[in-house]
Chain A
């Protein structure tokens, strides 16, 4: 069964600290992996997208990594800010219309 799992479920960190969120997937075949940020009460917004051949991609303070062999991805946030408080969702696609599998998300709280 195609699945996307994320850990931890929730995380609290101090402002200015770094953190890493994990994503494991069993989706096959694999087309791309995306990380989305979802602020409370808003729709998800794309942070990064990686294909099979890419193993690192950055977007400002966000760096995503992908290991297609072990089917794992991570999202590293550097020097966290209060505005980073959100849910971070890992999404894996096999390239078809309906096989875009969303993970349950990791809820991140950044506190002063």
Chain B
């Protein structure tokens, strides 16, 4: 298994509170991604990173920000959580944009 650790794995929070999800990799892969998975939808890209301090928006980036200060860590922040952000969040890594994606185990976030 690829060395990807997501934390926390489960979190329940209230509307309006900030939330940060962490993705840590030990593979030294250049590319890191944050996806959300909701029933009836395929995985949707929130943000991605192609290097330290190099990030860009994905399909569903509104309400989310990211940071990557080290190769191994990619943080996803919800500045003010809303109920529509209740979801399962997956971090993924890849060596290059043409190589396969390796996924973490997911972080289940519930916003009440």
Contact = CB atoms under 8 A, between A and B. Distances in A.
Interface of A: 4, 31-32, 34, 41-46, 49, 89, 93, 95-98, 100-105
A41 B98 contact: no
29 contacts: A4-B42, A32-B98, A41-B105, A42-B105, A43-B4, A43-B92, A43-B103, A43-B104, A43-B105, A44-B103, A45-B103, A46-B101, A46-B102, A49-B100, A93-B98, A95-B98, A97-B31, A97-B48, A97-B56, A97-B97, A98-B48, A98-B56, A98-B59, A100-B101, A101-B42, A102-B35, A102-B44, A104-B40, A104-B41
Contacts of A105: 42
Contacts of A103: 42
Interface residues of B, number: 26
Contact of A95 (B58, B97, B105): B97
A98 B98 contact: no
- Top 5 A-B residue pairs of the complex, sorted by shortest distance between their CB atoms: A43-B103, A102-B42, A102-B43, A46-B100, A104-B42
